[in-house]
Amino acid sequence: MGARELMRPILLLSEGAKRVAGGDLDIYLPVRGNDEIADLTRAFNDMAQRIREGRESLESARDELAHVNAGLRDANRALETLAITDGLTSLFNRRHFQDSFETEIRRAEQQGRVLSLLIIDIDHFKQYNDRFGHPEGDAALRRVAAQV
């Protein structure tokens, strides 16, 4: 075997290694013979294939994780909405009032403005609720809220 014949597979391995280092994992080097260089070439091809499979597995896991994270973001938004609204009327609840009121107090203080608070008491609401039922009572609350 001449120097040229010996150098060709080594140069192919060197070029292949540079391609893999540059991110090109779709590589397969031809295996010639049954000597140490052929063993090294087979090992190189196996390594490139394992790296390629590992990258594909990571990309698949990343995509699945992105999908799961999107679902979690949607679920968290739904939970945040549930935490600050009444389940029957869909109006903001006391928790939202407390959080918003504290924010508005700070804003009024920072801007040197007056803050007003409107409190409404619906006369005879319990009797209305008892007479017409809770769904009608909830609808009445929504109508009052819409007017404010």
**Confidence tier at 104 by pLDDT (50, 70, 90):** very high
What pLDDT was estimated at residue 32?
86
What pLDDT was estimated at residue 15?
93
Euclidean distance between CA atoms 65 and 67, whole angstroms: 5
Question: By C-alpha distance, which of 104, 64, 35 is closest to 56?
Answer: 64
Region for residue 23 given its phi and psi (left: phi exceeds 0; alpha: psi -120 to 50; beta: otherwise)? left
What pLDDT was estimated at residue 70?
98
pLDDT above 70 for 96: yes
**Confidence tier at 1 by pLDDT (50, 70, 90):** low
| Mean pLDDT, residues 115-133 | 90
Question: Which tokens in the block code for residue 23?
Answer: 């991110």
Helix, strand, or coil (residue 92): strand
pLDDT above 90 for 5: no
pLDDT above 90 for 3: no
What pLDDT was estimated at residue 112?
94
**Confidence tier at 106 by pLDDT (50, 70, 90):** very high
What pLDDT was estimated at residue 93?
94
Q: Residues 32, 37, 38, 39: what is their CA dihedral angle, to the nearest 10 degrees?
A: 180
The CA-atom distances, in angstroms, between 65 and each of 60, 69, 77 are: 9, 6, 18
Euclidean distance between CA atoms 102 and 97, whole angstroms: 8
pTM: 0.56
